[in-house]
Every structure is written in structure tokens, then in C-alpha cells.
Chains A and B, each alone.
Chain A
Amino acid sequence: MPYDPRLVQPMRDEMTRMGAKELTAVPEVDAALGDSRGTMLVFVNSVCGCAAGSARPALTLALRHPNRPEQVVTVFAGQDVDAVARARQYFSDYAPSSPSMALLRDGEVVHFVHRHMIEGRSPDQIAQDLTAAFDRYCQPTTA
């Protein structure tokens, strides 16, 4: 059962503040991921305080890096259930977990951050791993 929307709104707001586009329905997911070009990071948001509480600030930090994905989108696990299920179909080789992050280039997953790579780590540590992936797969962007 989804949490009270009022409870999760700050977690949604944290994502949109950093420039992520929320995908709350299947058509939105398909429109964003269906024929994507360039680089895109998909953040699977979660209410889990111990992991998502570090993952969101980590992404905020990482997106200050000169090299970063051209687009950042987010779906919310346990909240927007259908949208999350559809998004996961685009990276179905990877087991579902939340929070998690998939970095795609031209629709292909080039880097994946599982929940187990987030747990117990500080936002700085997670951001360092993300920026290393950005340096490898993304170009500088002014967006």
C-alpha cells in the first residue's frame, strides 16, 4: 500500500529541485525511455530513509559535476507502481531494488547503482562513484 502522498511529497520535491523529471504513469515512462537518445539517468526513488536518504543528496551532488547525463528522470517505488514496473522493463537485466539508479546511453544501460551499493555509504561516497560513471559515459552539459 502506498504511503500517504503528503509524506512522500518532500522526497518527490527533492528530485524535482535537482532537475529530475517525474514519471508517474506508463505513457510518461514510454515517452521518456522508449526511444531515448543521448544520456539519461533513471532514479528509482524510495521512502527508505537509510538508503534513499543518502541516494538523493548523492545525486544532487553528482549533478553539479561538469560531465553529467543530459536528462534525469525519476519514478517512485511503492508509489507510482505501474510507472516503476514499466521503467524496470527498460533495464530488466538488473534485479529490482530501490533506491537504485540506471545510467543509459542511447537507451542502453551503461552503469547501474543497486541499493546494495548505496547502503551505509555517505552521499559524498555515492556521488564520487556516480561522477566517475559520468566521466566515463557523459559529456559536459549546461542544462
Chain B
Amino acid sequence: MSGHVFHPGHSDLHGVTVVLETDTGVLYVGRYHEETAAGVLLHDAAEHQPAPGGTTAQAFVEKTLKFGVRAAHRNIVVPAASVRRVSRLVDWTAA
């Protein structure tokens, strides 16, 4: 069923838990809903802020893979201009 879009008219990523990387280094893990002119809408998204001496983005994603998404945002729109990459969480693997 890979590539199957359950809700017709939506992106392949609709309903899928993704990792959204931004140009500022802030990273979100959440359920992709859609991309509009305003940006990418994620549901139930966790957020990682880069900080000196803090958890790396890779470590944050690995922890999320194992223990799940600790949502900090019920809904969040990430401005399209700041989105660097969107990928499926399950495509991330341990470094």
C-alpha cells in the first residue's frame, strides 16, 4: 500500500508522520496534513530547538522513533519559506 493516499485529493504525505527541517535549525516531527501558501500544516507536532550542548536533531529524532511523538503543538503551520526538507519519520534511522 506504499504510496497509497487514503484521502483522495491530498498529498502522498497526508496523514503520515514526518520530520520537517527548517532553515533556522528548528525541527518538527508531526503528522502532515497539507501544504498551502501559508506553509505546511502539521498536527500533533513535537519540536526540537537547536541549542549549544543540547540534544542533537538526530538524537531527538531517534528518541522519537523509539518512544513516539511527544506533541508540543496540536496544530502548527510552518512557513513555506523556512521549510528545508520534509521526510517520513520512518525513513530516519539510527546514525
Contact = CB atoms under 8 A, between A and B. Distances in A.
User: Is the A/B pair a real complex?
Assistant: yes
Interface of A: 48-51, 53-54, 93-97, 100, 112, 114-117, 119-122
The binding surface of chain B is classed by DSSP as loop
Contacts, number: 48
Interface residues of B, number: 19
Contacts of B90: 116-117, 119
B67 A120 contact: no
Contacts of B4: 120
B6 A50 contact: yes
Interface of B: 1-4, 6-7, 15-17, 64-65, 67-71, 88-90
A96 B15 CA distance: 16
Given A50-B6, A53-B6, A54-B1, A119 B17 contact: yes
